[in-house]
Chain A
Amino acid sequence: MSNLLGKGLIDGLVVTAKNFVGSYFDGNRKDRLFTYQYPEERMKLPENSRTFPFLVYDGTPDQLRCTACKICETECPPQCIYIVMERDANGKPLQRPRVFDIDISVCMQCGICAEVCPFNAIKMDCDFERSKHGRFEDLLVHLPELLKSNEYYHQIKSAEATRVDATRKPTKKPAAGTKPEKI
């Protein structure tokens, strides 16, 4: 510390003055004014960014990858996924969900469902603008809203989606009755 009393006070003033002036003249916005003016300008989200899960389908919505194996349902830490498998008239399971609900008021966006899914069927979205008016019913996302195309997946996370496509190509959709592979 200096012997000169008051030097610390002046030093502080110099720093704040530098920041004040710098905020007007710094070319690189990230150096000083790091805030994004949200509705007008948007941050480019990194590819890994995750919010709520969605279900991927190939081509048309009825070709969804999910086989209703319920692995994500059991692994989900806050237990916010609810799945009912579709059955035909004879009660035979159809390897696809009839009900797939995610309570996004409970979901904590951890991404474990996407990690454990052996079929690459459930993935994490980047869409964060999900506010709704209702606290309960509106925040329960049902199957139709959860379905997103593979193209959308490519759009938000191209590298990851390409990687997934490469691993999926040979097998396509596993035949009924095959056990999910270990991960």
Chain B
Amino acid sequence: MPTVEQIREMLSAGAAKSSLLVEREDLLAVAKFLKTDPQLQFDFCSCVTAVDYIKQDCIEVVYHLYSVALKHGPVALKVRAPRALEQCHVPSLTPVWRGCEFQEREAFDLFGVKFDGHPDLRRILMWDEFVDHPMRKDYIPPMDYEWEPTPHGETLARAKMQGGTVPASALEAKK
């Protein structure tokens, strides 16, 4: 864990490609520090997203921060959480940067990361009744889609072979 001075130096010097991987417990404090520190002033949270590293068994939430006041950046603030749904918690940064609100909702929707302290954590892109988190690497599309039967029987079969699941009704519609 670098000291505050080291972070400050690292980020304010050549902040072209810097990233900070912090522990979940420290995230909020680090975020507040980055925002308020007079030399850094990362007052603008540009992009929030999550990455599913299935091999490392973790989901990484990435915040890209810029400074509008000092016109520097970006710094990628990263935090990791276990993949298991019930443990996949990360403190929300919406209280610090309002711009995270919808993007954290999106990360919750698509990755299942729960943001503690988010004012309105609901699904945003998928519908409310949807159960899974489609951007996870181990996501399997459900079978109950309204399937558009592709006209090509063989393409259909091949798609099936490649791991895509094809409902039987689609094959029947073909016949």
Q: What is the interface of chain A, defined by CB distance below 8 A to chain B?
A: 82, 84, 99, 101, 103, 105-106, 136-137, 139-140
Contact status A139-B151, CB under 8 Å: yes
List, in ascending order, chain A residues with CB within 8 A of B152's CB: 82, 101, 103, 140
- Tell me if B151 and A136 are in contact (CB < 8 A): yes
- Tell me if B129 counts as interface (CB < 8 A to partner A): no
Which residues of chain B (131-173) have a CB below 8 Å from chain A?
148-152, 154-155
| Nearest chain A residue, comparing its CB with the CB of B162 | A79
B44–chain A nearest beta-carbon distance, Å: 33
**Cα-based distance from A84 to B149 in the complex (angstroms):** 21
Residues of A contacting B: mostly: strand
B151 touches A140 (CB 8 A): yes
Which residues from chain A contact B151 at a C-beta distance below 8 Å? Answer: 103, 105, 136-137, 139-140
How far, in angstroms, from A27 to B155 measured CA to CA in the complex? 54
Alpha-carbon gap, A123 to B93, bound state (A): 50
A136 to B150, CA, bound (A): 7
Q: Hey, which chain A residues are within 8 Å of B155, CB to CB? A: 82, 101, 103
Taking CB as reference atom, which chain A residue is nearest B173? A136
Q: How many A-B residue pairs have CB under 8 A?
A: 21
Give the nearest-CB partner of A136 in chain B. B151
Offer 12 A-B interface pairs, CB within 8 angstroms, sorted by A: A82-B152, A82-B154, A84-B154, A101-B152, A106-B150, A136-B148, A136-B149, A136-B150, A136-B151, A137-B151, A139-B151, A140-B151
Q: Using Cβ atoms and an 8 Å threshold, which residues of chain B touch A105?
A: 151
- Chain B: minimal CB distance from A71 (Å): 17
Report Cα–Cα, A115/B149, bound state, in Å. 29
Query: What's the minimum C-beta distance from B137 to chain A, rounded to whole angstroms?
Result: 20
Given the complex, which residues of A lie within 8 Å of B150, measured CB to CB? 103, 106, 136
- How far apart are the CA atoms of A106 and B159 in the complex, in Å? 15
The chain B residue sitting closest to A138, CB to CB, is B151
Instruction: Write the nearest CB–CB distance from B173 to chain A, whole angstroms.
Output: 9
CA separation between A106 and B149, bound complex, in Å? 12
Q: How far is it, in angstroms, between the C-alpha of A140 and the C-alpha of B151 when the chains are bound?
A: 7
A53 to chain B, nearest CB (A): 16
Docked pose: A84 CA to B148 CA in angstroms: 23
A82 and B154 alpha carbons, distance in the complex (Å): 9
Interface string of B105-129 (1 = CB under 8 A from A): 0000000000000000000000000
Bound CA–CA A101/B149 (angstroms):
16
Point out which of B148, B151, B154 has the most chain A C-beta atoms below 10 A from its C-beta: B151
* Chain B residues positioned under 8 Å from A82 (CB to CB): 152, 154-155
Which residue of A has the minimal Cβ distance to B159? Answer: A79
